[in-house]
Amino acid sequence: MPNDTAIQMNELRAGTTSGDLMRVVIVGHVDHGKSTLVGRMFHDTGQLPDGKLEAIQEMCRRRGMPFEWAFLMDSLKAERDQGVTIDTSQIWFRHNARQYVIIDAPGHREFIRNMVTGASNADAAMLMIDADQGVRRQSRHHSYLLQLLGVREVAVAVNKMDLVDYDEARFRQIETEYKSYLEGIGIQARRVIPISAREGDNVATASDRMSWYDGPSVIETMAEFELPESPVDRPLRLPLQDVYKFDDRRILAGRIESGRLHVGDELVFSPSNRTARIASIESWNTGEPATTASAEQSVGITLDEQIFVERGEVASHVSDAPIETDVFHLRLFWLADTPLEVGKTYGLKIGPRHLNATIERIERVIDVEALSDHEATKVSRDEIAEVVVRTNQLVAIDNHDNLPRTGRVIVYDRHITLAGGIVSMGSYPDQREQITIRSSNLTEVDHGVDNTRRAARNRHQPGVLWFTGLSGAGKSTLAMALEHRLFDEGYQVYVLDGDNVRTGLNANLGFSPEDRAENIRRVGEVAALLSDAGLIVITAFISPYRADRDRAREAGGDSFREIYIKADVATCESRDPKGLYKRARAGEIQEFTGISAPYEEPTDPELIVDTSDKDIESCLDELVAYVKANFAVTAK
């Protein structure tokens, strides 16, 4: 931006806070007039710096081309030569009591990354449609991206009405078509405005050439946009950019994305789960030391104790911490020429943190044109898809609908951005409670009877046989039959299933993803204790999530055996012993595993028992043979 304009914009900036500032992105297909609209807005409200209009006129005269308002925003030489906006331009604008940052995002397909960058910071959007060309494919892509990024304050400007002789019928046709599309993706356009940015019609004031339109102008519509909830009023999120050491101080530095903090606040750092209190908020060249800081400020803090935290961790208040997980849903827009594929590992950037993530499943690919979706084995360029991602370690994250700034991710490979996306946990649980250890000052006591003596008396090794599989696969039936057979043959054996733990031990748990995870955690710990007492414990739980089963394996130690009772959904649904599938199909049961909630098949179970085409006795014989081969005292 030229220096004189920059000076004026800095003056506007003075005294502005995020509470009275609206960020508006202007998006649309290439050459639909975005930059022209911005230039005209500045001229018609008297905000062009002195001499700026004359400078643009002289530049156009030297180039032998018609006057272009777009040159106010298109500051790069390459853009002037090619007539397209390449980079995302931002400029401050003021009208009446409200101040704005106007973001001019490129519309060309080749620069879609820049468009996403611009839109991701916006509070509202002005969508541009060329009245002569009508709604284009890129127009639909842009609006879907706005929906994806959570921009809900939207208006539409149907530009270049001068090219269609200000025809009302043409405007109404585009208005009906585009409003219908926007409503289909969950966006209610605040206004649809017929304009001519070049001529100034309905930009700042009403147009005499479109008397059939009695709505507000573009600038009047921008004043109607509702300011979003201030990030200051949301839960604290401070992703750490780095840790610096000065003198004997360790200063944790980062930008507060939401919320506020004070000296003395207790913070938890995720995903390490370490806690400490703020000792100081560091400040430089200030008269008094700071005691508080809030969203959109970059800060450095020290803690009251030297805990180990590192770049990428997220500081929050203990009472409202982010989600901790290693698996989540991601809705993404794929930008790369090489398709996204299941099983491939990519880099994932979440705030300042970088880690590896594997695409476990493509749930659906969304047809932006038809507003339909279909199953797919890959995601091609410019497609929007919902996928399941598993990271190589726990990560702190938020549902995008709750906290957009910490619910966005970037997928990359060798520093090249491949996709942007937003996070949803869906039916996956927050794993924080399952990994948090609150007990302290405990000393483990050794038993007077060791496992060897127990095994000698029982004539078998202890163990945990963890049956997992879909509802209706036969877990409980086989567990009870196996218990009966083994008991008759002298084994000390006991079955844990949903009925005998949810009426007692886990009676206080519901069926939320977090409660289901806690249910499995408790069962895993009880099974491990019973195994330590010398028993063979058989568990019969769907336990759909790999992370939960991994924790049960960790608790059970070397005696743990994961046994996959395998049957496909169609087979299980045909059995439906409790009528659960029927109720799930009717919508009476939400988040039902295999229908509306995922089941993560075991990747390397000790035994697979396929009940699809075998009778109960054959499966039972297979299980008994496995136990005898692996748990009898004589087995080596």
CA distance 44 to 138: 29
Specify the pLDDT at position 161: 96
Specify the pLDDT at position 476: 92
Q: Is 173 helix (H, G, I), strand (E, B) or coil?
A: helix
Write out the E strands in 211-322.
Answer: 238-246, 249-255, 260-262, 266-270, 274-282, 292-294, 298-303, 314-317
Q: Is 551 helix (H, G, I), strand (E, B) or coil?
A: helix
Query: What are the tokens at 362?
Result: 């493509």
Buried b or exposed e, range 464-477, using 16+ CB within 10 angstroms: bbbbbbbbbbbbbb
pLDDT averaged per 10 residues, the chain (length 636): 37 44 82 80 79 73 70 46 46 83 61 52 87 88 81 92 96 95 90 93 94 95 88 94 85 94 95 93 77 91 90 94 94 90 93 92 83 84 90 93 89 88 89 68 62 86 95 93 94 88 85 87 93 94 92 93 95 88 87 87 95 92 95 70
Specify the pLDDT at position 79: 37
Return the DSSP state at 593: B
Name the residue among 214, 141, 142 with its Cα closest to residue 171: 214
Specify the pLDDT at position 170: 96
CA distance 387 to 389: 6
Specify the pLDDT at position 201: 95
- 35 — phi, psi (to 5°)? -65, -35
Name the residue among 418, 434, 228 with its Cα closest to residue 327: 434
Specify the pLDDT at position 629: 94
Specify the pLDDT at position 69: 64
Task: Identify whether the C-beta of residue 99 lies closer than 8 Å to the C-beta of residue 20.
Answer: yes
Beta pairing class for 536-540 and 353-367: unpaired
CA distance 350 to 39: 35
Specify the pLDDT at position 620: 96
Specify the pLDDT at position 447: 66
Specify the pLDDT at position 132: 92
Write out the E strands in 445-513.
Answer: 463-468, 493-497
CA distance 102 to 435: 45
CA distance 135 to 314: 42
> Using CA atoms in the order 510, 511, 517, 518, what is the torsion angle rounded to 10 degrees?
10
Task: Identify whether the C-beta of residue 124 lies closer than 8 Å to the C-beta of residue 151.
Answer: yes
- Please report the domains of the chain, with CATH numbers, ordered by start residue: 21-224 (3.40.50.300), 231-320 (2.40.30.10), 323-426 (2.40.30.10), 450-631 (3.40.50.300)
Specify the pLDDT at position 443: 52
> How far is C-alpha 381 from the chain's CA centre?
20
DSSP states of 251-264: EEEEE--BSEEETT
Gyration radius of the chain over CA positions: 31
What type of residue sits at position 130?
A: D
What type of residue sits at position 465?
A: L
Beta pairing class for 340-341 and 408-413: unpaired
Cite the active site residues. Answer: 543
Name the residue among 264, 261, 252 with its Cα closest to residue 232: 261
Helix orientation angle between 137-149 and 112-120, rounded to the nearest 10 degrees: 40
CA distance 457 to 437: 35
Work out the burial of residue 36: count CB atoms within 10 Å of its CB; fewer than 13 is exposed, 13-18 middle, 19 or more buried.
buried
CA distance 155 to 191: 5
The count of residues in the chain is 636
